[in-house]
Amino acid sequence: MSLCAYTLKCFNCVGKDCNETVVCPTVAGITLDRCAKVEQNGVVVKSCMNRDLCIAPISCCSTDLCNSAVTTGPALALLLLSSTIFTLFL
């Protein structure tokens, strides 16, 4: 029996007008299985994230390109950290 890995596609960018997309990878054994988005002080960040890091006010979803809308909240640093880790391991 063969197993097929699920690949989630998310927006991955900083800024309100972003259209860069990525296929979410597994990084250091951690599956980035959610699309995430957050806005704080007018800065919008969209990225892949592990489901365990999806805490309010970060908005997470699990379908392709579902992080196109914007939410607000103070968790920009957590999402930026996740995005940085994601980028370092590409």
CB neighbour class for 42 (10 Å; exposed up to 12, middle 13-18, buried from 19): exposed
Q: What is the pTM of this model?
A: 0.69
Range with the lowest mean pLDDT among 25-29, 45-49, 76-80?
76-80
Average pLDDT over residues 20-42: 92
Average pLDDT over residues 39-68: 93
Residue 79 vs residue 2, higher pLDDT: 79
Residue at token pair 């597994």: 26
Average pLDDT over residues 39-52: 92
What is the pLDDT at residue 36?
96
Domains and CATH numbers, the chain: 9-88 (2.10.60.10)
Dihedral pair phi/psi, residue 51, rounded to 5°: -55, -30
